[in-house]
Each structure stands twice: as structure tokens, then as C-alpha cells.
């Protein structure tokens, strides 16, 4: 084989090898990208252990302060700076916002038995973005983009009035699409009625007056908190939002 032909073959083989490397990297990424899309049980356990150890030794919780306007399910964020700096965690969870992921880690039941849960930053930001569009539209047109009435005081959002497509947001509980709704006061919320109903069916021992706020049932067997949502109660067998 002539030298030029040899060089040509080598170049082709090299290019093929490089292409395979690129493709394999796309198909089988070296890092677990799914860790930024969901929260692993191991990560929750690790943070839970660090929280409990810190609490036992310091008699306080390592939380980031928030004001009273923050929903109680989103209120007490884990202070990873303290936990890492003082050696309670060697590494931040990859799924945590502070670690480059898509979730805030929170503490519920802070006054009794502190429990670690996760909040979707993605869903939170989506609601905040649409809330801003609603406020801009209201300021410009002097009216809210109210669609069909969903519940007493809650309406679908008229996305055409906002010059945008209907967002496709998925529940972390069921994986189904959840809709956003708008109150007469202009607040944007995620509607978790379907998830709450399914959770009630899965726990038939719970009576309809089991909770003042039925969002609690969503976290019974889940690592996630409901995001940007109103309270719920049961009326005539159906979960109904209220503020």
C-alpha cells in the first residue's frame, strides 16, 4: 500500500474513532445527568443524617432564613454552606441547587421531627416567570388574563392574552401534566387537586377532615414538597383550593 493510501486510512480510522467517542459520550454521559432532574433516596438520607447530627450537637437547625411571606412548604431551606464548612457533609448533593442541580433541600416539621424534602427549582421558576407576565399584562391592560372558572376564586390562565403557549409542566408526584391557575387577586398557582385526590384514594383510611391543608398528603410517601400552590380542603368528595 502506498504511503499516501496508508495516511488516508489512518486519518479515516482516527476520525471514526473520534466520532465514536463523541457519540458514546452523548449516549452514555460520564456524569449522571439525571441527578440534576430528580433527587435520590441516598442524597435525602445523607442530608437527613447531617441535619440530625448538627441538631444534636448544636441544638439548632442549619437553615437559611426566610420571611413570613414564604409558603411553609418552601420556608426552611437547608444551609449547605454551614454543613460543608463545619464538616457535616463532605460533598453537596449533585441534585441540590447549591451543588449545580435543580432542587432546593428543605426541612419540614422543624419544631418536632425535622424531615428533609426537596423543592423543584424548575417548577418554582416557571411559576415566578408566568407570575411576572401576568403582572405585566395587568399593568398594561388593567385586567387579569382570566380564563374559565376552575374553582371558586380560581381560574384558568388565558395564555393568548399573555402572548405565550400553554406551558407543559409535569407533577413530581404522578408525572402527569399539571395546570396553572390564577386567582382574582392575581396570584399564580400550580393546581395539585388531581395528585391530592389520587393520594386520598391510595390512603382510604384518611377521612376528609384529616387535614386542614391536604397538601400534607402529598409528602407522605414522597421526597418532594408541593411548589407554589394554595391550600386544599375536601368538599363533596373533591379537593378544592383555598387561600
State the pLDDT at residue 25: 35
In angstroms, rounded to a whole number, what is the distance separating the alpha carbons of residues 55 and 88? Answer: 11
User: Which of 100, 121, 102, 184 lies closest to 147 in space, CA to CA?
Assistant: 184
**Cross-strand partners of 51:** none
State the pLDDT at residue 201: 94
Q: Out of 4-13, 147-156, 232-241, pick the least confident.
A: 4-13
Q: What is the β-pairing status of strands 115-120 and 146-151?
A: unpaired
Q: Per residue in 90-131, pLDDT tens?
A: 999 999 999 999 999 999 998 889 999 999 999 999 999 999
Contact 145, 158 (CB under 8 A): yes
3-state secondary structure of 33: helix
**Cross-strand partners of 77:** 64, 106
State the pLDDT at residue 156: 98
Contact 35, 95 (CB under 8 A): yes
State the pLDDT at residue 223: 96
User: Which of 43, 55, 69, 68 lies closest to 110 in space, CA to CA?
Assistant: 55
pLDDT higher than threshold 90 for residue 29: no
Query: How far is it between the farthest Cα atoms of the chain?
Result: 87
CA distances from 139 to 6, 135, 142, 149, 188 (A): 71, 6, 6, 22, 16
Secondary structure E strands in the chain:
63-64, 77-78, 103-108, 115-120, 146-151, 154-157, 169-170, 177-178, 180-183, 188-190, 231-235, 238-242
Break the chain into its structural domains and give their ranges. 1-30, 33-119, 122-242
Q: What share of the chain is helix, strand, coil (3-state, %, to 5)?
A: 40, 20, 40
pTM: 0.81
Q: Out of 18-22, 103-107, 228-232, pick the least confident.
A: 18-22
Amino acid at each position: 500500500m502506498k504511503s499516501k493510501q496508508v495516511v488516508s486510512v489512518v486519518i479515516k480510522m482516527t476520525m471514526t474513532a473520534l466520532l465514536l467517542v463523541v457519540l458514546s459520550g452523548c449516549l452514555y454521559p460520564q456524569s449522571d445527568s439525571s441527578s440534576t432532574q430528580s433527587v435520590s433516596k441516598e442524597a435525602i438520607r445523607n442530608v437527613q443524617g447531617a441535619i440530625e447530627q448538627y441538631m444534636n450537637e448544636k441544638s439548632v437547625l442549619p437553615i437559611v432564613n426566610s420571611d413570613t411571606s414564604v409558603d411553609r412548604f418552601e420556608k426552611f431551606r437547608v444551609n449547605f454552606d454551614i454543613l460543608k464548612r463545619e464538616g457535616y457533609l463532605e460533598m453537596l448533593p449533585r441534585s441540590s441547587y447549591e451543588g449545580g442541580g435543580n432542587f432546593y433541600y428543605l426541612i419540614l416539621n422543624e419544631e418536632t421531627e425535622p424531615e428533609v424534602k426537596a423543592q423543584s427549582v424548575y417548577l418554582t421558576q416557571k411559576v415566578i416567570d408566568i407570575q411576572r407576565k401576568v403582572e405585566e399584562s395587568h399593568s398594561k391592560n388593567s385586567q387579569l388574563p382570566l380564563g374559565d372558572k376552575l374553582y371558586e376564586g380560581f381560574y384558568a390562565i388565558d395564555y393568548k392574552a399573555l402572548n405565550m403557549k400553554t406551558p407543559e409542566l409535569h407533577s413530581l408526584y404522578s408525572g402527569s401534566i399539571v395546570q396553572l391557575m390564577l386567582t382574582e387577586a392575581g396570584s399564580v398557582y400550580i393546581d395539585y387537586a388531581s395528585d391530592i385526590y389520587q393520594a386520598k384514594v391510595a390512603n382510604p383510611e384518611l377521612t376528609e377532615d384529616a387535614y386542614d391543608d391536604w397538601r400534607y398528603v402529598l409528602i407522605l410517601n414522597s421526597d418532594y414538597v408541593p411548589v407554589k400552590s394554595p391550600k386544599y380542603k375536601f368538599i363533596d368528595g373533591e379537593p378544592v383550593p383555598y387561600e
